[in-house]
Amino acid sequence: MGVATKRIEMESRSENDVLDLTAEVQGAVQESGLNDGVATIFIPGSTAAVTTIEYEPGLVHDFTSMLERVSPSDIDYEHQEAWHDDNGRSHVKASLVGPSLSIPFVEGRLVLGTWQQIVLVELDIRPRARNVVVQLIGE
């Protein structure tokens, strides 16, 4: 049994920027030398999230539009009262989607569906430098 950890640095442009991480995570699996196991993808911070999606413009738009309907930008958030940084909605959206996911890999390949990609979802109201942690456990 072995463990390997890799960090993937990403620069987001703005709120609702959706960045495809699939190739980078697959690269981490291949570089690790592990054959079978599980990859955990984690984004430190409380205003970004990771998930899987069919990474195509229409669905990316639908996904970010859904998040806006769930946590709209034109309502008051108590977080704003405490910190005055206008990103209460960012925190709410990030906690709904979540900061991590686990994906098995078999024979050195991530087990993903044909149209399934791993994405970082930027939810903060400004560009951010993100440092995604990929931890692999396997043999």
Tens digit of pLDDT for each residue in 94-104? 999 999 999 99
**φ and ψ at residue 96, rounded to 5 degrees:** -70, -45
What the chain holds in terms of domains, given with CATH numbers, is 2-138 (2.60.120.460)
H or E stretch at 82: helix 78-83
User: Which of 35, 6, 2, 3 lies closest to 132, judged by CA?
Assistant: 6
Two structure tokens written together for 83: 């910190």
pLDDT grade, residue 83 (50/70/90)?
A: confident
pLDDT grade, residue 80 (50/70/90)?
A: confident
Judged by phi (left if over 0) then psi (alpha if -120 to 50, else beta), residue 84 lies in left
Does position 47 have pLDDT exceeding 90, yes or no? Answer: yes
Q: Number of C-alpha atoms within 13 angstroms, CB side, residue 47? A: 20
Place of tokens 């981490």: 28
Percent of the chain whose pLDDT exceeds 90: 94
